[in-house]
Chain A
Amino acid sequence: MVAIKPKQLALGLATLAVTWGVTLVGVVSAQTLTLYSGRNEALIGPLIEKAKAELGLDIQVRYGDTAELAATILEEGQNSPADIYFGQDAGALGALQKAGRAVVLPASILEKVDERFRSPQGQWIGISGRSRVLDYNTNRVQARDLPRSVWELTTPKWRGRVAWAPTNGSFQSFVTAMRMIEGEERTREWLTAMKNNGAVVYRNNTTIVEALGRGEIDIGLVNNYYLARFKREDPNFPVAHHFTRGDSGSMINVAGVAILDTADSLEEAQAFVEFLLSPESQRFFAEETTEYPLVVGIPHPPEQVPIDEINPPRIDLSNLADLDGTLSLLQEVGVL
């Protein structure tokens, strides 16, 4: 009597599974455009699908954390499979530029975007913008009480009511901007005063906005586009935007791309960057992610204050890559 023992069956199945896994290896064609994206699939996935169809390219995307993907590209060295890097903030793009891993973009691409929102060396370009903003719980803070500058947040009135996220990249960019605008001394003063005023530490923007909605905290330093997403899931979400004027509290940072020195085909990579800067894609950012389109002449997102009315500070975003000073300042003050 021949019967298959369960053990043999299991072994056979296991062998099959392993072989199938091994055959998965090597099913990657050479003619693909590989994108490392620190931007989320839920945000740019539909755009990638459109690019595939319009450009006739096979685009493969590896999604991950902006900084971790930048570190990955540096570790991969000249064997990196990546052609393009799409980062969430100018700092990461600056780090790749500093390591000599980004190629200079052609002028035809660079000139589409205001020079404030791209690398002065032309090694990365902003695709969409986000501003820093103060979000507040509308039940707990009256509009007339709102601060005119981030400095007001250090007054006793706001003691223990302000949320910030010192480990968050966007927050650190904001501090870097403050150092550029107001100088090292004043920034240290502000950080110390905030800390002494009982500013509450959160992990990131999302958790701040969420806590604002719960009424756990009254006002928070965040990016402009998180709120819209909460409002979409819950229209009665009791939080609103407030922009300070001319200080780093309303600074504009960008999400942008760099073509890497390991790109197989510069033309294809450039075609993709041009696609991201096309009016259609720019409108996509305005409507879908409620960020600011950076190409001139594209209407701003309906829920947001127009970018020209925000009155952000004038700074060179490339310098945001120099985070070391900010980090040591944050550590020195004891917020990090």
Chain B
Amino acid sequence: MYSREAIEGIEQKAVTKSRLNLRDPKGRPWFGQVFLAGNPPFLMVLLAAVPATGILLLLFYLGMRAAGAGLPEFWAIISQPRTLEVLLNSIGMTVAITLLSALIAIPLAFLTVRTDLPWRRFWLVVTTLPLAIPTYVGSFALIAAVGPRGSILQMLLQPLGVERLPSIYGWPGVILAIGLFTYPYLLLSVRAGLQGMDPSMEESARVLGYGSRATFLKVTLPQLRPSIAAGSLLVALYALQDFGTPGLMRFNSFTRAIFIQYRASFNRNTAAALALVLVVLVLGILFLEYWARSRAVYYSRGSAVPREQTLIPLGRWKWPAVVFCALIASISFAMPIGVIAFWLIRGLIYGGASDRLLSTLLPIIWNSVYAAGLAALIAIIFALPVAILSVRFPSRLSTLLERCSYLGFGMPGIVVALTLVFFGANFAPWLYQKLPMMLFAYLVLFLPQAIGTIRSSLLQVNPSLEESARVLGRSPWQTLQEVTLPLVRPGIISGGMLIFLTAMKELPATLLLAPIGFRTLATQIWQATAEDAAFANAAAAALAILAVSTLSTLIILSQERILPRPNLSSSRNDSTSIIDS
């Protein structure tokens, strides 16, 4: 009894402390002094405002076009029973996909960070990589693998008399396809959360008599709540805005209704009206996440003494855990690669053209790496200030800046692309269809991915560390460089990686806003599958995306390894994780 109360006391204290900080910044005179007395640095606010302008443009554009439709027509579209039906479809789909992702990602994160899982680094890489598979490619592969007839699975079962498998189309297909290729958002987020966690809390819990399961449920999981919320938000918004997969899986999602307006009736006004409804839905999801995470904010890296987390021995659960990892990896990674490789080989046998395939692909690979790399770099430059402002200088404005950046991520790419087409061509023709404009589109579309991961890392850094640095005579800039940045490094790394991987596969904005003739691997895949059925070319480009993504993931993960070993005489805390040991 006594010990339990003590633990709950610890939990309670952490909650109270964080709540006070969130809700009542002015109550603590030292609070804002981390960088400058009271107010955030001007440069930081300025940088944070840049992505917000993109969102403002988006809202302005949608409002303008929807107004063009006129109120009666607007209402006629919104009030159609069909609109409500697809809206409910989208909501149901989003909830189911988020749950599926959580079921896959949370155990995976725990296994790969905290346990003595065999080949942990291998699983670490392989389970992240499905993110690099464009969902439309993944869906194609899924259909080819387990479609009702003529699929690989059906042909294997043919001798047993199975003529037709249960249909994958509709709900199961859309949930599986998006869930299997977006769970890494949640995985990376939770993994960063686990890595940044101070083990002393869990140790105290154990010392005070909690069993391992109770420790996990009462101490570990609540601390992970912001990470889980941030990751789920990305999964949910990705699911909501995806168009390719619902199309392939014949699922009537809300985005599909928007696309029909553009593609079939060339009606930009009604499309914008529907997109505004989507904006409201995204705002609802944002509110939910805000509610979930503002109830649990923890500073866990409180001690200046570096601690290493101890690995939890899996014991007899070792092999079931390996089977689980292998299952997820084979469905969401090995299976698509197998199908893509099959297309490539079939195309090469019948299609010829193999000698030119690689030489034409090389410059395209470079374009993709260059654009996605720049996008990742720029996104971090802009995401850092937004994250720091929202965590260290909580106010209505900083919350708004951080929240509204997510709107871009929840919008179909074509909506953001046409917004920038309109403003670019008419008000900034000197930038229109130039590289910076495309990168800006990437920023508007993808920034929240980096904000989320950096924010989660930052939440685990106790501001007293920064305060100490200031007290000891470091300038705000030095404090940022020497204390804050090294501590949020895991967040920066995974944020940059997320942006890189998703920018590699971005299509609609790239098609409309890239410098003319600028080809990327994603446009190459689209070219090959859109009008003709040149699967060999599509497969080659898809494999190239996977190869580049794998390589960059490996490089980034190996970066974590060369971090300085924990040094007791240094006041710098380490951000090393269990992977290093």
A contact set with B: CB distance below 8 Å: 14, 17-18, 21-22, 24-26, 28, 34, 39-43, 60-65, 67-72, 74-77, 79-81, 88, 91-92, 95, 167, 169, 172, 201-203, 206-207, 209-211, 213-217, 226, 229-230, 232-235, 289, 323-324, 327, 331, 336
Contacts A88-B531, A215-B149 given; indicate if A28 touches B516 (C-beta within 8 A): yes
Check B473 for interface membership: any CB of A closer than 8 A. no
Stretch from B219-227, B432-440, B454-462 contacting the other chain: B432-440
7 nearest A-B pairs in the assembled complex, by CB-CB distance: A214-B150, A216-B149, A76-B425, A40-B531, A95-B266, A67-B263, A64-B511
| Known pairs A28-B516, A72-B418 / 19 extra A-B pairs, C-beta < 8 Å | A17-B377, A25-B435, A42-B527, A61-B516, A62-B511, A62-B512, A63-B511, A63-B527, A65-B511, A71-B268, A72-B421, A75-B422, A76-B421, A76-B422, A167-B260, A211-B150, A233-B346, A234-B350, A336-B260
Cβ-neighbour of A75 out of B263, B418, B434 (below 8 A)? B418
Interface residues of B (CB under 8 A from A): 80, 82, 147-151, 247-248, 250, 256, 259-260, 262-268, 346-347, 350-351, 370, 373-374, 377, 414, 418, 421-422, 425-426, 429-436, 439, 508, 511-512, 515-517, 523, 527-537
Given A60-B516, A233-B350, is A68 in contact with B262 using a C-beta cutoff of 8 Å?
A: yes
- Listed by A's residue number, 8 A-B pairs whose Cβ atoms lie within 8 Å are A40-B527, A65-B263, A67-B262, A71-B418, A80-B425, A92-B266, A167-B264, A201-B250
**CB nearest to B533 among chain A residues:** A229
Complexed CA–CA distance, A69 and B516 (Å): 13
Do A233 and B347 form a contact, CB below 8 Å, given A25-B431, A68-B511? yes
Q: Are A71 and B266 in contact (CB under 8 A)?
A: yes
Question: Taking the nearest CB of chain A, how far is it from the CB of B50, in angstroms?
Answer: 15
B559 to chain A, nearest CB (A): 10
A68 and B263 contacting across the interface, CB-CB below 8 Å: yes
Residues of B within 8 Å of A17, CB to CB, are: 370, 373-374, 377
Known: A22-B436, A25-B436. A67 touches B532 (CB 8 A): no
User: Please, how many angstroms separate the alpha-carbon atoms of A77 and B523 in the complex?
Assistant: 25
Q: How far is the CA of A202 from the CA of B248 in the complex (A)?
A: 7
**A133 to chain B: closest CB distance in Å?**
16
Report whether A68 and B414 are in contact in the complex, using a CB–CB cutoff of 8 Å.
yes
A84 to chain B, nearest CB (A): 13
A122 to B431, CA, bound (A): 34
A24 adjacent to B373 (CB under 8 Å): no
How far apart are A260's CB and chain B's nearest CB, in angstroms? 13
Q: Which residues of chain A are within 8 angstroms of B347 by Cβ–Cβ distance?
A: 233
Given A43-B532, A324-B265, is A25 in contact with B434 using a C-beta cutoff of 8 Å? yes
Residue contact A21 to B265, C-beta cutoff 8 Å: no
B264–A203 contact, CB under 8 A?
no
* A62 and B262 contacting across the interface, CB-CB below 8 Å: no
Partner of B266, one of A70, A88, A211: A70
The smallest beta-carbon distance between A131 and chain B, in angstroms, is 16
Task: Assess whether A323 is in contact with B516, with CB atoms less than 8 Å apart.
Answer: no
Assess whether B527 is in contact with A216, with CB atoms less than 8 Å apart. Answer: no
> Which residues of chain A have C-beta atoms less than 8 A from B148's C-beta?
216
Give the Cβ gap from A66 to chain B, nearest Cβ, in Å. 8
Set of chain B residues within 8 Å of A63, measured between Cβ atoms? 511, 523, 527
* Cβ–Cβ contact A214 & B535, under 8 A: no
Residues of B within 8 A of A76 (CB): 421-422, 425-426
Chain A residues positioned under 8 Å from B260 (CB to CB): 167, 327, 336
> Which residues of chain B come closer than 8 Å to A95, judged between CB atoms?
266
The answer to whether B150 and A167 have CB atoms under 8 Å apart is no
Contacts of A40 in B (CB 8 A): 527, 530-532
What's the Cα separation between A74 and B421 when bound, in Å?
Answer: 10
Q: How far is the CA of A77 from the CA of B424 in the complex (A)?
A: 11
Shortest distance from the beta carbon of A59 to any chain B beta carbon, whole Å: 10
With A17-B370, A21-B436, A42-B528 known as contacts, the answer to whether A323 contacts B264 (CB < 8 A) is yes
